[in-house]
Amino acid sequence: MSKIAVIGIVGESVFLPVKRFHQGEETVVATDIHREWGGKGYNQALAAARHGASVSFLGAVNACEASAITQYSRQNGIHATLSIKNEASPYAVILTDESGANHVTVCQGARLSSDDVRSFACEIASSDILLLSNETDTGVNDEAMRLAKAHGVRVIYNPAPARPLSPAVLDGVTLFTPNEHETKGLEDKANVVITLGKKGCLIRKSGEMLPPFPVGQAVDTTGAGDTFNGVLSVALAEGKSLREACRMANAAASIEVTQRYVANAIPFRHQTENILWENT
């Protein structure tokens, strides 16, 4: 079994489906409300766990949510290491329109520290791949990079939300996975897979574009990139080629967008493999 370590945020995500997004300062009425545990890193961890990996996750939360998140994580095959902080837990509001597009607003809340990462060192050292993103602070990611390098652990880095990357990240990451709006600073890097939404993904080194799979109509794109990254990490940890891993990640993301919200939309491995088998 492959082992994936993920460092990110976890907290409550509130989804509000709307017919269309706001124009100017108008008020828009949502058609429903849905709550679940989420966050970019946590969604990635959930996708990896559902595709057969042993997953360790590090995040920071307020004590009020710690027990519920730990229990939910255990139920979904994630070993969650939660650093308890005085600040409120992370919180996100996601608006989704009738086309499936989304607008996301995040309050990052409780923040990890470099000390928290050092307490997670054994999980990093024993992993096949460490999965990072820009939702955690630069110092946190730099410390995680240092530990991964010391133990020969490969790093997949999702540079979202976009921000300048540190030298430690630019020089040490095994594979970057930006979307088309997050490639600034990576122009001279060949170790890049660019996710392109409904167009699939582009492997920069080979120049190959891999299209998504014809699964069904997209109704909610929230979490598609997180699903892609989680599944990609599992496939690479299992020794699949980059092309094979991207196809598997594309298949999982193609399924994920056909359902509303994220937690229940992230597919399990057998669903992803069925799509791959049907499209061989």
Catalytic residues: 226
Q: Give the C-alpha separation, 40 to 69, whole Å.
A: 15
| Residue-wise DSSP of 212-228 | -------S--TTHHHHH
- Give the C-alpha separation, 245 to 116, whole Å: 31
Specify whether the CB–CB gap between 47 and 81 falls below 8 A.
Answer: no
**Distance between start and end Cα atoms, the chain:** 25
User: Can you list the positions of beta strands (E) in the chain?
Assistant: 3-7, 11-17, 34-38, 54-62, 78-85, 91-96, 102-107, 129-133, 154-158, 175-176, 193-195, 201-203, 208-210
Side chain identity at residue 155, one-letter code: V
User: Which of 43, 38, 28, 29 minimizes the C-alpha distance to 256?
Assistant: 43
**How crowded is residue 238: how many other Cβ atoms within 10 Å of its Cβ?**
16
Q: ω into residue 161 within 30 of 0, thus cis?
A: yes
Angle value at C-alpha 212, between 30 and 55, nearest 5 degrees: 80
